[in-house]
């Protein structure tokens, strides 16, 4: 009898510690209810709790939507809010790319980089509040106006290089420089945006993460080899400069990767007929498109290139020449005046008293 009681007690104890059966249908239903609740709570409601008033939608990304909003207390009041739905974002992207973007972007402070204001997470969405840049991106600008005069290309490329040189000085590489990521502010100055593929490069190690856009990718990336991300940024700047000057891509990506690599190595660039590309600009482009990345110039080297300073030097030369001519004329007038004075003195001394 005692043995029977023990057996029944042990059976109850065993049943007590057994995990309860989970109905997958109920779990799925709860998940759908939660997602439905999250969906019902609009971005407008979430942002209003933080004193942001949503004005309109600016654009869409693969996993995100960008809204224009106004802060009711802070200045400047207009901001762009990038809203990323975590339920749509692959785990690898969250871990390797989104986390880096949120780590590095807030630390950046440069006049030609979009300012990071704040970030917060709510209802499985990440909200990134950024400086609002009002005149669209460089791709839209070129589609509207076509190839740029060289002086304007020089201004924009100088601004891009200064921003990227700053990034590299902070041991950060962008890895996705392209026209769509160059925004234009109210004064039509460049602001670099989108740091989704940014990486730290403190030890100057080669990267093996193949990211970015194929049209702007350097040969070593297309070959699938380890690459120097700084020199990859340099190559992308070359693509941007070429498009600004000619309104066309330097390499036809529809030909396939193998042929693109061949074209990059051959480097028979077409300069077009609509704009005159100066010799200095062509020389710089050929340097930027150096096939072997170890021989490719750094962004700091680019800023020292004579293309950026040739016009300024010519202006200085003209200014110097004008000053010289004015000085020579002044000296000539002074000489004439002094000769007249000497002549008058002699005449006075020889005149009878």
Question: Could you tell me which residues are annotated as the binding site?
Answer: 82
Q: Which residues of 186-202 are buried (b: 16+ CB within 10 A; e: fewer)?
A: eeeebbbbbbbbbbebe
Distance of CA 266 to the CA centre of its chain: 28
The rounded distance, in Å, linking the Cα atoms of 134 and 131 is 10
DSSP state at residue 69:
E
Q: Please write the tens of the pLDDT for every residue from 162-212.
A: 999 999 999 999 999 999 999 999 999 999 999 999 999 877 789 988 888
Domains of the chain: 43-131 (3.30.200.20), 136-309 (1.10.510.10)
| Residues classed as catalytic | 176
Report which of 116, 218, 232 is spatially closest to residue 164, judged by C-alpha positions: 232
Return the pLDDT at 339.
59
Report which of 258, 180, 248 is spatially closest to residue 219, judged by C-alpha positions: 258
pTM: 0.77
Q: Please write the tens of the pLDDT for every residue from 266-315.
A: 999 988 765 689 999 999 999 999 999 999 999 999 999 999 986 655 54
Block residue for tokens 């990267």: 207
Strands (E), 44-178: 52-60, 64-71, 78-85, 116-122, 125-131, 172-173
Q: Please write the tens of the pLDDT for every residue from 31-83.
A: 445 544 555 679 999 999 999 999 999 999 888 999 999 999 888 789 999 99
Distance of CA 315 to the CA centre of its chain: 31
Return the pLDDT at 332.
65
Six-digit token string for 131: 């400086």
Dihedral sign from CA coordinates of 9, 11, 12, 13: positive
Coil/strand/helix, residue 65: strand
The rounded distance, in Å, linking the Cα atoms of 181 and 177 is 6
Question: Could you tell me which residues are annotated as the binding site for ATP?
Answer: 82
Report which of 66, 70, 87 is spatially closest to residue 79, judged by C-alpha positions: 70
DSSP state at residue 275:
S
């Amino acid at each position: 009898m005692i043995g029977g009681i023990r057996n029944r007690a042990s059976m109850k104890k065993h049943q007590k510690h057994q995990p309860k059966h989970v109905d997958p249908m109920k779990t799925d239903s709860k998940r759908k209810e939660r997602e439905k609740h999250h969906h019902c709570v609009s971005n407008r409601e979430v942002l209003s709790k933080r004193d942001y008033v949503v004005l309109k939608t600016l654009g869409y990304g693969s996993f995100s939507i960008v809204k224009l909003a106004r802060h009711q207390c802070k200045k400047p009041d207009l901001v762009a809010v990038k809203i990323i739905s975590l339920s749509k974002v692959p785990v690898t992207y969250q871990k390797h790319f989104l986390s880096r973007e949120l780590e590095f972007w807030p630390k950046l402070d440069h006049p030609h980089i979009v300012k990071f204001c704040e970030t917060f997470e709510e209802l499985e969405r990440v909200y990134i509040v950024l400086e609002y840049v009002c005149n669209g991106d460089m791709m839209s600008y070129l589609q509207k106006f076509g190839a740029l005069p060289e002086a304007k290309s020089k201004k924009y490329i100088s601004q891009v290089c200064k921003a990227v040189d700053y990034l590299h000085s902070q041991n950060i590489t962008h890895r996705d420089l392209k026209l769509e990521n160059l925004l234009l502010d109210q004064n039509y100055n460049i602001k670099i945006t989108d740091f989704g593929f940014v990486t730290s490069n403190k030890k100057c190690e080669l990267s093996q993460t193949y990211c970015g856009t194929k049209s702007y990718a350097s040969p070593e990336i297309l070959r699938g080899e380890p690459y120097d991300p700084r020199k990859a940024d340099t190559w992308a700047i070359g693509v941007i400069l070429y498009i600004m000057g000619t309104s066309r891509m330097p390499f036809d990506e529809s030909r396939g990767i193998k042929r693109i690599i061949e074209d990059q190595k051959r480097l028979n660039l077409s300069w077009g007929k609509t704009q005159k590309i100066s010799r200095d600009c062509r020389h710089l482009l050929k340097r930027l498109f150096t096939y072997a990345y170890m021989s490719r110039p750094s962004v700091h080297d680019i800023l020292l290139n004579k293309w950026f300073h040739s016009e300024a030097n010519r202006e200085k030369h003209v200014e110097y020449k004008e000053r010289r001519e004015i000085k020579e004329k002044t000296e000539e007038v002074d000489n004439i005046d002094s000769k007249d004075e000497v002549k008058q003195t002699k005449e006075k001394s020889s005149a009878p008293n």
